[in-house]
Structure 1
Amino acid sequence: MYAIQISSVLVLCLATTYAFRAPLCPEDNSIEVYYPSNDCSKFWQCSNGVPVLQRCPADTLFNSDLNVCDNPESVVCPAPKPSTTTRRPRPTRPPKPTLPTRRPREQ
């Protein structure tokens, strides 16, 4: 039972990792490999051929030139990509018919 729970957690973690469009890591573990994330406060670190999303300490951003978390003023953070999802336009309703106005009767 314990093994099933551990397996379920592992599958969930891997599914979550890959949902963020993780990079492909080399199978060769002899060198450290880092990739920037879409969020400049995070980066991908390859560990045993598996990409692991890491977070930089507070008030730092990932510097992909140096492969370290660095001061924000030393990092060029690309602008976020615009959303590619589009919404369907809401159908417009025809205007309600208006009744002709009548002049009040004179008394």
Structure 2
Amino acid sequence: MTSQTNSGSCCTPGGACGSASQADVQVGITTVYKVTGMTCGHCEGAISQEVSAIAGVTSVKAVAATGLATVTSTGPLDDETVRAAVDEAGYELVGRA
């Protein structure tokens, strides 16, 4: 009987299985903010663009329907810095949700 190797396997040569390596897992601090004034996708994009420009921010997801902006960063964020970015986008940061 011959053995076959599956080059597309998720298992490592050492026998560990998984679909994501340590490098694929996002690590960070997630903070959810309440924002007023968002009504559409354009609003979501404007907030995401401004908040993404803050040093240390790795992702932003703004949702007009809920009025929430979820921000992931490499470290703690200063709420006033986030408030200034949301203000620059033309919206109001109420606070943490």
Using structure 1 for the length normalisation, give the TM-score. 0.21
Q: Which has the higher contact order (CA 8 A, sep 6+)?
A: 2
Considering fraction of residues, name the structure with more helix: 2
Considering fraction of residues, name the structure with more strand: 2
Using structure 2 for the length normalisation, give the TM-score. 0.23
Q: Which has the higher Rg, Structure 1 or Structure 2?
A: 1
